[in-house]
Structure formats: C-alpha cells, structure tokens
Amino acid sequence: MEALAVRLSGLDPYVDGALRIVAFYDTLMRRRVDLPALARASAGLAECVAGIRLHGTERAIRVAPDGTGTSAPPTGPSGTAAVLLDEEEIGTVWLERPGPANPLDEVLLDRLALAVAAAVERYGPARTTMADPALVELVISADGDEAARARALRLLGFAAGLPVRVLAVRSPRLPLDQVGGLVCPGRPVKAAQIGGLGVVLAAVVDRDRLPTGVRAGIGAAESPDRSWREARTALRFATPREPVVHYADLGALALLAEVPRAALRENPDVAALARVAANPEDLETLDAYCVAGSLRRAADLLHLHHSSVARRIEQIGKALAIDLSGPAGLTRAGLALAAWRLLDDEASP
C-alpha cells in the first residue's frame, strides 16, 4: 500500500498533497493534541484562519495563521466540515480563506474534523470544574433522551456506567467550581449555573466537605434528571442549622414539596407560624426545640438556661394554638416550620 501511495503521488500532485495532509493529522492525533493545538496547526498548514466549534457551547476557537487567536470579525467560511462522533454531528470545523478555496481544503477539513472528534472523545471540551451549561442542562433535563444524556456525560468527562451524583447548590460567596472541587476531590466533577441555581455533577459526594455558608440539596436517584429534581427539593428544606440535605433523608417529609403553595399558605398552623416568624428569636427557639425534641437539649443548642427556653416555648405555643409539651404538638410545629420554609424558599416552583 505504501509503495502504491508513493507511485500515485509521483503521478498526481493532488494525491501527493492529500497524502501529506493525512500524514500531518495522523501525527497530531498520535501526539494526542487538544483542540486549541489542532486549530493552531490547521491554521498554519492552510495559511488562513481555522475555526472549531462544538455544538451546545458558546465558544468558538478561531486561530490566525501565525498561531494566535484572532478577534477579527469572521469573513465567512470558505469551507466547512461536520465533526461526527458515534455517527452524530457534535460540531463544525471551517477555514476562512480570503480568496478562492484551495483544492486540498476539503481533505484538510475532513482530517481536521476526524482529529477534533478524537480529541473530544479523549478530553471533553474542558478540563476544568466549570462546564458548559448547555451540556450540563442536557444531562439533567427531563425532556432529553438517554442517548443525548449519555453523550453529554461522556463529553463532560464521565465514563460510561460511572454513577453521577447531582447537587443543587446556593453559594453566595464561594465560586461554584471551588464548591465542586471540595465535595469531590480527585474524581470527575463538573459545575454550572442554570436557572439561578448551581448544579454540581460529581462521581462521589462528600457532604462533610461542603464549606460554611453553602446550602445544598443532594439527589438520590440514579438517573441524573430525576436526581436533579430531588436535589432541588432537598435544597428547599435546607436551613442555617442544617445547610446540607440529602433527599433520601427526607422520607415522607418530601411529600410536603408536592403540596400546592396556596394550600400550604392557607393552612392554619402555617399561617400562625408566619406571624411568629416575624420575631427571629422566637423562630430560632422553635426551630431548636423541634430539632432537639426536648427543652434541655434545645437550651444547649441555644446556649440558654432551660427555664428561659421553657417560657419562650410556652408563649410560642399559645401564639400557634398548639400544645408544644407533647409529641403530637411537636410534630405539628415541625411540619408547620417545614411548610413555611417551602413557601419562603426561592427555589420553589
């Protein structure tokens, strides 16, 4: 075959040029170069601007013949080729030649597209924790098909069959990529902002590593789209006292999230609690009492004498019209607290 190629190249300059282009990209692929390096090499070989764009991403890589990124307005492609992965188009490559197209441009673009597909399969579009929101949205969307979800996960760097945990995160101070790196050190993790909430996809989640000031809900389902819904629900139950909530720990309490907001608002216990909540001290006392389950343990949480807590709880019970001295009243107060927080939560639908 090699001898035949040599004879053909001697007879036809086009064949000779095409073989040289094929060998050029074979070398790049053996060296496992990334997308920016492919764009630079292609621009230098073509002696014009070369571009690469992956579908679902906002960023295009455009490189001038000298190997530097170009900010000049695109002149329009002189030639394009689709990037295919698993027989599906995932992107486009192109040349911006100012004059007429070179006869070998088609061969160059074809080989560049093959090299881009190989690089995407190897590296994904980024090696950082922050990911393209479009790919993350494909993973967690309830409307997406399983093939698109699997492909997006692969492009994000998650191997086929690898479990993916989903977190819904609010982090007012710490950047989302740092949160992702903390909860899943040394393993695949990607993060993006979608719809006002942080989304973290992680191979594993160490909830104890979530930093102070961050609230998070952790989904339990194996399917990422279902896990995202669960994570959002769990986040709605997060409080300053319990900032990280796992959906699996909610149990029957998660059913409250399915109750229409109007029904929650009209419930007498919730309406009474909304009035009590106007006093932050009373709200904190009731919360500590519901969490602790006894006056003495609540006093320890609040760093107060138990007699002081007892007086507050008695007054709060009267305001709520609930006897807080027994388990039935404690359950009612706890449910009212959870329902009131669902009404007050920004993540609620």
pLDDT of residue 262: 92
Degrees (nearest 5) of the Cα angle 333, 339, 341? 105
In this prediction the pTM is 0.60
Give me the pLDDT at residue 64, please: 93
Give the span between the Cα atoms of 29 and 6, in whole angstroms. 22
Structural domains of the chain, with CATH: 2-123 (3.30.450), 133-257 (no CATH), 259-344 (1.10.10.2840)
pLDDT score of 348: 44
- Residue 277 is predicted with a pLDDT of 87
* Per-residue tens of pLDDT for the chain, all 349 residues: 344 344 434 445 778 888 899 999 999 999 988 889 999 999 999 999 999 988 756 568 999 999 888 877 788 899 999 998 767 777 899 999 988 888 899 999 999 999 998 887 776 544 457 777 888 988 998 887 788 888 888 888 887 777 899 999 999 888 888 888 888 877 788 999 998 899 999 988 888 888 889 999 999 998 999 999 999 999 999 988 899 999 999 999 999 999 999 999 999 999 999 998 888 898 898 888 888 888 888 788 888 888 888 898 889 889 899 989 888 988 999 899 999 989 876 444 4
> Tell me, what's the pLDDT at 1?
33
pLDDT for res 126: 45
